Amino acid sequence: MAKYVVKRLLHFIPVFLGVTALVFFLLRVAPGDAAHIRLQDRGMDLSEENISAIRAELGLDRPVWVQYGRWLGAVFRLDMGNSVVSGEPVVKELSRRFRLTLYLTLPAIALVLIAAFPLGLLASLYQGKLWDRVTRIFAIVIMSIPSFCLGLVFILFFSAHLRWLPSFGAGSLAHLIMPCLVLFIASAAHYTRFIRSVLLEELSKEYVRAAKARGIGTWTILVFHGIKNALIPIITSLGMSLAIMLGGSAVVEKVFSWPGMGSCLIDAVLNRDYPLVQGCVLLYAFIFTGINVMTDIICIILDPRVRKTIRNTTGGRG
Residue 45 is predicted with a pLDDT of 66
pLDDT for position 312: 63
The reported pLDDT for the residue numbered 130 is 86
Q: Give, in degrees to the nearest 5, the angle at Cα 233 between 228 and 237.
A: 130
Give the pLDDT confidence score for residue 43 in this predicted structure: 65
Cα–Cα dist 60/67, whole Å? 7
Burial bucket for residue 48 (CB in 10 Å: 0-12, 13-18, 19+): exposed
User: DSSP labels for 65-117?
Assistant: HHHHHHHHHHHTTT---B-TTT-SBHHHHHHHHHHHHHHHHHHHHHHHHHHHH
pLDDT at 104: 86
Nearest to 116 by CA among 17, 241, 7: 241
CA distance 294 to 20: 22
Q: Kindly report the CATH number that applies to the domain delimited by 96-270.
A: 1.10.3720.10
pLDDT of residue 250: 79
pTM for the whole thing?
0.75
The predicted structure's pLDDT at residue 56: 77
Asked if residues 111 and 305 have their Cβ atoms less than 8 Å apart, the reply is no
Contact 179, 253 (CB under 8 A): yes
Q: State residue 6's pLDDT score.
A: 74
Q: Give the residue extent of every domain in the chain.
A: 2-75, 96-270
| Residue 122 pLDDT | 85
pLDDT of amino acid 298: 80
Report the C-alpha gap between 30 and 32 in whole angstroms. Answer: 6
| pLDDT one digit per residue (tens) for the chain, 318 residues | 667 667 777 777 787 778 778 877 877 776 666 666 666 666 666 677 777 777 777 677 777 788 788 878 888 887 888 887 777 888 888 888 888 888 888 888 888 888 888 888 888 888 888 888 888 888 888 888 888 888 888 999 988 888 888 888 787 888 888 988 888 888 888 888 888 888 888 878 887 788 778 887 777 877 777 777 778 888 888 887 777 777 657 788 888 888 888 888 888 888 778 788 888 888 888 888 788 878 877 877 776 666 666 666 655 554
Q: Distance between CA 243 and CA 287 in Å, rounded? A: 6
Distance of CA 115 to the CA centre of its chain: 20
Q: What is the pLDDT of residue 278?
A: 83
